[in-house]
Amino acid sequence: MPKTAVLVGSGIAGLACALRLHAKNYQVTVFEANPYPGGKLHSKMLGPFRFDMGPSLFTLPWLVDELFELHAKNPKDYFNYRRKQTICHYFWDDGTFFAAPADTATFIREAATFFDESAAAIEDYILKNQQKYQLTTRLFLEKSLHKLQTYLSGDTLKAIARIGMMGIDQSLHSWNEGYFANPKLVQLFNRYATYNGSSPYQTPGIMSMIPHLEMDLGTYFPEGGMHEITNSLYTLARDVGVSFRFGDPVSEILVTDKHAKGVIAESGKYPADIVVSNMDVYPTFKKLLPNEKHPQRVLQQERSSSALIFYWGMQQEFPELDLHNIFFSNDYQREFEHLFKHKTIFQDPTVYINITSKEELSDAPKGNENWFVMINAPGNFGQDWERLKAEARKYILRKLSHRLNTDIEKKIMNEMILDPVGIESTTSSYRGALYGAASNSKFAAFLRHPNFSKRIKDLYFCGGSVHPGGGIPLSLLSAKIVADLVNPAQS
């Protein structure tokens, strides 16, 4: 009899983990409370407009490709994407506009002229980001931080030898100010802290490696939209024999003699040789393992920021906008103080607009656009979200109308809103956090829950709430780490 594996949750990490375990000869069943796969990475129609509901940035596409190659499939038979020539359009309220080129040499040249900065300083900054990534990725992102053998390698010695250039003892903001005098360029690079739901004024300077993912390794657009990542992996999983049970939530992980032995779902009891939870680690312990000792220090970690998203079908095209657009706050530091200290929304929030109809024309009727309008939001601590949504909508409309010289509200044909409460209820993300724990300290990476249980054998964890972190690339890497920890089943 083949060994069996049960996955709790079919987010991007759950799908990837299911595929990797199947490749190791496990018979895999995935349980999902929702009627669809993908977790945050799914889509909806709003009238004639299609929207990707969750993640909107795609980097490191080869992490998706290798899941197909693992099963001797041609990725292009399932999934295609193209590289963007522009990273993002940046807007400031004083009329400043900068379109960031994807080509690194072009970015250095144009940014130096535009922001009146030294090209050599920008080049050195980007090079240091690359070096940080190369020194730490195999140690911190591709392996378990909670296994001794991870540290017994040349990679570890190299990283330790270069620890002084990592910036771990200063904030990302301080690191960026050390390179640039122009506050707008500092703000541009500060915003990468939001990629892990943190504050640039608290997260360590080592996080300056994040721009490397976009500026050197590239940003991409999946044909058909971000949801095609989910669709293609789900199709592959079905093709190779992974089983899915949608609308069948798991209520308990079965543990006997400190071994995970399966799950109890709404439809019954399912024994398994190993169990992997792709559910947020907080509800995994609180709801599925209520009788087991909980890792309190991990569960009490500060959570990442959440999001407030307005999905707007727009009755106009805006040629000055691209796929990715940022409208910056005039007081970035106060914005993050409001998010993390006061747990509320600042009256001048930074606004991100993603418009997939710029790349996928069928996502909106001709002459229209689908706007995914997002601001960073605090987690759900029981605030009056109806009031906060109404206020945020007013702030956003005021900012965009001023900067685009258009009455934006009059252009909205269709509207849907997703707040931290909705994110928490539909994805089981504790407090609606997008990235699990925040990275507002230099020890955050080590405090994340490991990809395995130290107390319960045959119990593993993948997804954005555990090591190595949130976002599509890190979630995919968490699945790889789990598969590397699991012994192959005998065929």
Regions of the chain where pLDDT drops below 70:
139, 142-167, 442-446, 490-491
pTM here is 0.94
Half-sphere exposure of 204 (CA within 13 A, CB side): 15
* 81: its two tokens: 């994407």
pLDDT of 102 reads 96
Fold topology of 4-33+247-301+438-485: FAD/NAD(P)-binding domain (3.50.50)
SS3 label, residue 327: strand
DSSP code string of 200-223 = TTTSBGGGGGHHHHHHTT--EEET
pLDDT of 420 reads 97
Euclidean distance between CA atoms 486 and 460, whole angstroms: 9
How is residue 323 annotated by DSSP?
A: S
SS3 label, residue 51: strand
* 329: its two tokens: 């706050």
The beta strands (E) that lie in 102-241 are given as 220-222
Closest CA to 39 of 17, 60, 20, 65: 17
pLDDT of 142 reads 67
What residues does each domain of the chain span?
4-33+247-301+438-485, 40-102+218-224+305-434, 121-179+191-213
pLDDT of 113 reads 98
* 398: its two tokens: 């005021």
* 132: its two tokens: 């940080």
pLDDT of 1 reads 79
pLDDT of 426 reads 93
Euclidean distance between CA atoms 410 and 312, whole angstroms: 11
SS3 label, residue 418: strand
113 φ, ψ to 5°? Answer: -70, -45
Euclidean distance between CA atoms 303 and 378, whole angstroms: 9
H-run or E-run covering 151: helix 148-151
pLDDT of 444 reads 64
pLDDT of 165 reads 59
Fold topology of 40-102+218-224+305-434: Polyamine Oxidase; Chain A, domain 2 (3.90.660)
Euclidean distance between CA atoms 226 and 221, whole angstroms: 7
pLDDT of 437 reads 85
